[in-house]
Amino acid sequence: MRTTTILRLAACGLALSTTLVTANTADAASPQGIELTFLGRYTAGSVGVGAQEIPAYDPATRRVFVINAEAGTVDVLDIRDPRAPRKVATLTAPGANSVAVHGGLVAVAQQGTAKTDPGSVAFFDASTGRKLRQVTVGALPDMLTFTPDGRQVVVANEGEPESYCAGQENDPEGSVSIIDVRRGTVRSAGFQAWNGREDELRAQGVRISGPGAAAANDLEPEYVTVEGGTAWVTLQENNALAVVDLRSAKVRSILPLGLKDHSAEGAGLDASDRDGKADIRTHPVKGMYMPDSIADFRSRGRTFLVTANEGDSRDWDCHSDEARVKSLKLSPIAFPDAAALQKDPELGRLTVAADSPKDATGAYTELRVFGGRSISVRSASGELVWDSGDQLERLIAERYPANFNADHEANDFDTRSDNKGPEPEGVTVGAVRGRTYAFAGLERVGGIVAYDVTDPSDARLAGYVNSRDFSGDVEAGTAGDLGPEGVLFVAAHDSPTHRPLLVVGHEISGTTAIYEVR
């Protein structure tokens, strides 16, 4: 059964609080009126196993290439009729994590047989599916992208450890590989220059938290965006960005992203999954932005970055950096009302970083949560220009009060409030009628939120659409689109409908959904 969902984005009109850097309410003057229309979806037929994750698009063939992590393939979808996308081919790519397309060339990042082994990037012809070449890169290549001119592919090699259990501490170094597409040569930018400077990085605000890890092992590249000769790489677990010079293949700098003050008006959060309500308010908590994906855009001659501040912890069998507030010893100076704060309806259930700051007695003087529950705009040098504050949670509370902060694996209520909330993950940027929009997927509750970022310091909520069906059954595959992972913008001049499209891969429902932007 095909459903059609239309959202008039300019009519969103939420009554939300603002601060100096938080989001403003959409109004009649901004943004320009646009609509997101759900056109159709492809269903892989598997639920909860990553059967549809990261999409890429080839305009010449009108094909979408989607990572199918379950099968270790890239599914090739014909979207000449985006209302009825159909699978026409499969690229064999064991360990596939990410895909990108440029000029008829498909690049696929593949992790090794063991994720700590060197990975690879395979290149395919977009029209024939023929494999052309494969090159070796770093461990666990998690994302890749072409440079705008198509001459290079930049790869974020996460270098995640096998585990932190004794005898299993194999922890490869994180790195960024730069592939010359024509020559097939690979250069890698690593972080060895920061080994021995871990305390210096921590003092600057970069999170180094792996037990006994050197900086080169602890810094884990996640996602890349490129402009000119520069790549910006998210270091999610480290709450930082790496700036990479592509010409020299060197990491130029590491930029700490700072902390979000959840005690500030307009930057609150719902901190409990046991309070029986949507309760978004300020708390004496700091948020580590910890972005997953990143995109860039230009405004008035300057480069800006958009990040989806998902958050991520290191939660292993033999090492976890997660803790609940009610299990911690709180400083009576920093938290004079500790007994009240540690009750379940307050902060007791909240998941925080176990390495949050402590005093000499081991009592916590600050509580830091994973992720910002927000979308941010930053300058090219990493300074915060704007943040959506608590707008995402307020948006969900208004649109889906019965399923507020639901998980992506069950139609429930308030189960994610204690840990990262809606989890914005994938983000992309596109131009519609002369205005610039950022589109981000909310991994847990689902759906795509749109912001007009034409004025980077005064971004405006443009709206939200969710093709999840809360009346359906998640395990039976009847709940629509669940767990948006990769978000792709297709410009009007490349689109089969001659209007911009959004293509979204959903890892939980195993679906790829297509929306038209008007």
> End-to-end CA distance of the chain, in Å?
24
Residues 338 and 193 in one domain: no
Residues 209 and 270 in one domain: yes
Q: How many CB atoms lie under 10 A from the CB of residue 399?
A: 16
Residues 72 and 151 in one domain: yes
Considering the domain boundaries, does residue 1 fall inside one? Answer: no
Residue 359 CA to residue 347 CA, distance in Å, equals: 20
Residues 61 and 196 in one domain: yes
CATH number at residue 104: 2.130.10.10
Q: Which of 332, 365, 398 is the last residue of a domain?
A: 365
Considering the domain boundaries, does residue 268 fall inside one? Answer: yes
Residues 122 and 228 in one domain: yes
One-letter amino acid at 294 equals: I
Contacts of 375 (CB under 8 A, 6+ apart): 306, 307, 308, 309, 387, 388, 392, 424, 427, 438, 440, 449, 451, 459
Residues 50 and 174 in one domain: yes
User: Quick one: pLDDT at residue 26?
Assistant: 32
Rg (CA), the chain: 22
Residues 292 and 266 in one domain: yes
User: Quick one: pLDDT at residue 20?
Assistant: 30
3-state secondary structure of 10: helix
Considering the domain boundaries, does residue 120 fall inside one? Answer: yes
Q: How many CB atoms lie under 10 A from the CB of residue 434?
A: 7
Asked if 65 and 58 count as a contact pair (C-beta separation under 8 A), the reply is: yes
Q: Which of 365, 386, 403 is the last residue of a domain?
A: 365
Residues 74 and 143 in one domain: yes
Tens digits of pLDDT across the chain (518 residues): 333 333 333 333 333 332 333 333 333 233 455 788 899 999 999 999 999 999 999 999 999 999 999 999 999 999 999 999 999 999 999 999 999 999 999 999 999 999 999 999 999 999 999 999 999 999 999 999 999 999 999 999 999 998 877 766 789 999 999 999 999 999 999 999 999 999 999 999 999 998 888 999 999 999 999 999 999 999 999 999 999 999 999 999 999 999 999 999 999 999 999 999 999 999 999 999 999 999 999 999 999 999 999 999 998 888 899 999 999 999 999 999 999 999 999 999 999 999 999 999 999 999 999 999 999 999 999 999 999 999 999 999 999 999 999 999 999 999 999 999 999 999 999 999 999 999 999 999 999 999 999 999 999 999 899 999 999 999 999 999 999 999 999 999 999 999 999 999 999 999 999 999 98
Residues 399 and 328 in one domain: no
Considering the domain boundaries, does residue 97 fall inside one? Answer: yes
User: Quick one: pLDDT at residue 163?
Assistant: 81
Residues 153 and 271 in one domain: yes
Q: Count up the domains in the chain and report the number.
A: 2
Q: Which domain holds residue 320?
A: 316-365
Residues 353 and 478 in one domain: no
Considering the domain boundaries, does residue 29 fall inside one? Answer: yes
**CA angle centred on 354, ends 209 and 389, rounded to 5°:** 95
Residue 83 CA to residue 92 CA, distance in Å, equals: 26
Residues 202 and 348 in one domain: no
Residue 162 CA to residue 397 CA, distance in Å, equals: 38
Q: Is the dihedral of CA 285, 291, 295, 301 positive or negative?
A: positive
Q: Is the dihedral of CA 259, 304, 230, 144 positive or negative?
A: positive
User: Quick one: pLDDT at residue 33?
Assistant: 58
Considering the domain boundaries, does residue 183 fall inside one? Answer: yes
Q: Which of 365, 384, 403 is the last residue of a domain?
A: 365
Considering the domain boundaries, does residue 280 fall inside one? Answer: yes
User: Quick one: pLDDT at residue 15?
Assistant: 34
Considering the domain boundaries, does residue 45 fall inside one? Answer: yes
User: Quick one: pLDDT at residue 167?
Assistant: 67
